[in-house]
Structure formats: C-alpha cells, structure tokens
Amino acid sequence: QPLNQCPATISSTLENVIEEPLSFTETTDCGGDDEDEEEGQEEDDTHIQMFREAEISGLVDPVAANVVNVDAFGAKGDGKTDDTEAFENAWKKACSSAPSTFRVPKGKSYIVNQITFSGPCQSALRVQVSGSIIAPEDPSAWNGSNPKLWLHFYRVDDLTVNGGGHHRRQRSKMAVTFDSINNLRVRNLQVTNSQQMHVAFQKCFAVQAKNLRVTAPEHSPNTDGIHVTASKNVAIKNSIIGTGDDCISIVSDSVNVRAQNITCGPGHGISIGSLGKGNSEAEVSNILVDGAYLHDTTNGVRIKTWQGGSGFARTITFRNINMKNVSNPIIIDQNYCDSKKPCPKQSSAVKISNVFYKNIKGTTPSKDAVNFDCSDTVPCTEITMQNIHLVLDSGDIPNSYCANVKGSAQGVIVPTACF
C-alpha cells in the first residue's frame, strides 16, 4: 500500500483545545482539566473500579534547573541544515546532568534525521518542544537508519515531553515512539503527516498523554494516530485525532488503558486490535473509552481479531460516546482479515468477553449499526448494552446483526439488540 506522501511535522500547541468538560454535541473540539473524576461521581458499572485500583502515580514534573538548549550545541533551526548531531550532543548533556530541560527553542524549524534519545538518564528529564522538528524530505537521508522510527525515546524513565512547537515528518513509519519507559508524561504536542503510526507507546508503564493533536490525510493507509502496545496504566486525555487509520489502536499485552475526551475523525475509529494475527497469542484487558466524539469515520468503537489467534480481550468499556456519520458504529469482528488473499477458516480465536457499551448515540449511513460477528467455536460472551440510540442519517432505524454472541440489554436500545 502506498504510504502517506505529505510533508510531516511535530510541534507543540493545541490552540483549539478548549479547557472545559467535553459536551456530547456536534463539536470537533474536546477538553477537560487534568483532574480525575470527582470522587462522588456515580460508578454504575464494575469495569471502572479497575482504574481506581491502578491509578497512575509518580508522574511529577522534574524540577529542571539545568536548561540544555540545542542551539548551544550548534543547531541552526533554519529549516535547511541537518541538526541531528546537535540534538544528539545536547541530549547526551541533558541525560547525564542533574534534573534538566532539553529545549527546542520557539520560532525555529529543525531538520532532524532518525534519532534515538536513549537512557537511562541520571535523573528526571523534561523535553520542551517550542519550535518545529521536521524530518528530512530526501529519502537518501534515511540510508543506514531504521526506516520504522524517527524520534525514538528509549528507556528514559521519569520523562516529561511538553509541546509548544510542531513535529513534521516524512519517509519514516513511526513519528514519535516511546519505548520501554516508566513514568511518562506527554502533552501539548501536534504531530502531522506520519507515513504510518504517529505516536506509539510500547512497553511503557504509567503514561499520561494529554492535549495531543494528530492529523494525516483521510486516505493515507496505516497512519494510526495513537498506538498502544505492551503497555500498562496508560491515560490518554483531551486529544483530537484525524488520520487515515485508527484514531487510537490498543493491541496485545496492554492492560489498564483509559481514553477520555477524544475527538476522532476522519479515520477508522477507536480500535482494540487487531489481535491474534499469524496464530499469535494476545492479551488485552481493563480498557476504558469514556467520552468521545467520532465523526466521518469508517468505524466507531471496534474490537477486531484474526482467526487462528488465542488469548483474550476482556473487561472493556465504551461509554458516553457521540457519533455523526459513522459507518459501523459498534462492531466486534472475530473474522478480521486485512490481506489481499482470503484468510483460511480456523477454529481457534481470541476470546472476547465482558464488554460494556453504555450511552452511545449518533447517526450512521450503515444498515447495520451494531455488528457482532463472533467465532462459532469461541463465541463472544458477557456483552452488555445500555442506553444506545443509533439511527440512519435519514432518521430511520438501522439493524443489528449478531453471530455467536451472548449478551444482555438494559434501558432503551435503538436499534433493538439482537442477543
């Protein structure tokens, strides 16, 4: 498949994110403060307790008395000069110092090739991106580099990355990758036009990601906005994502992932998976999507698994979600097949259970607004729907489709549940 060919950047500010609670109306902005839900808020489904028991801790901004400015190490920031070496040298200084701020100054554009910001560092570290970081356009600049990575943060515990600039990239597959990091804060970043995944958290523990804006052309394949893999205790808040693939994708070995106040569109919606590809084992549990506005997406909230896999996806909640012009608003697909050739029929499957859909409303062009296509050998179980109202764009009532699923319905369900 062709990759996204648009110029790409990373920068800071989310000027259009409004710092007020998300209203479930037709708005493309989302916000909210950085506080947890009020203690008195009703907790009327048991899935939410898991987050009370696994609150992210230790995420305190470092007191960074030592400021390491990339310009002091020879960076030009003129949008023409390769500043990679200056960034590498500045990083070595910041990482080996007392609590430090690694600063990318405002008002400049820095060309940076593939780079790994490696730890462990001497102490907690802040990265302040106030200017723009741009990947090189010339494909030859990537020779000898890992084409899958661009800005790669690796084993840097107690890290804060704060925006104030722009990250734009070409010719690499992952724009910003946070790899094997404990206690991570990422906020106020704008990432645009990645060739594939924009922001990836892999093998991370205790992550807070807030006020991110991710954009790519609607028809650019595999350009996931935020990708979570093999990570635990991850909170994604107050972010706006529009790409050619999943706005948020959560895949194997991810536990305790919470996404709140998300605006998604265009794109493929918010997905758990895909899981179980190549007869692999997958385990995903304790996932909460709470507060989202999805518009003009090919899917709404989706769980997708391949035939032949094993393991489980369980204890998943989707609640308080508005949709406008969303195809496949609610979908479980245990026969997912993203290949040019038909996938062979296999008996094993990732077990899907204990999934809760609550307070989901909106419009769809699809005749089947709810589609549960589960395995005939490993059916979906404990699927619960409460207060669902999905209608066609015309106002007519769509259908529900169920195959090999066991569940229950509570409250008013439109279209009628097919359990």
Q: Would you name the residues annotated as active-site residues?
A: 268
Using alpha carbons only, what angle is made at residue 210 by residues 205 and 213, rounded to the nearest 5 degrees? Answer: 120
- Non-local (6+) Cβ contacts of 30 within 8 A are 17, 18, 22, 238, 239, 240, 261, 262, 263, 291, 293
Using alpha carbons only, what angle is made at residue 341 by residues 338 and 347, rounded to the nearest 5 degrees? Answer: 75
Write the CA distances from 111 to 82, 137, 151, 187, 302, integer angstroms.
5, 9, 12, 22, 37
Among candidates 96, 130, 92, 138, which has minimal Cα distance to 114?
138
Please, what's the b/e burial string for 287-309 (b: 16 or more CB within 10 A of its CB; e: otherwise)? bbbbbbbbbebbbbbbbbbbbbb
**In one letter, which amino acid is 80?**
K
Give the span between the Cα atoms of 183 and 58, in whole angstroms. Answer: 6
End-to-end CA gap in the chain: 38
Give the span between the Cα atoms of 16 and 240, in whole angstroms. Answer: 9
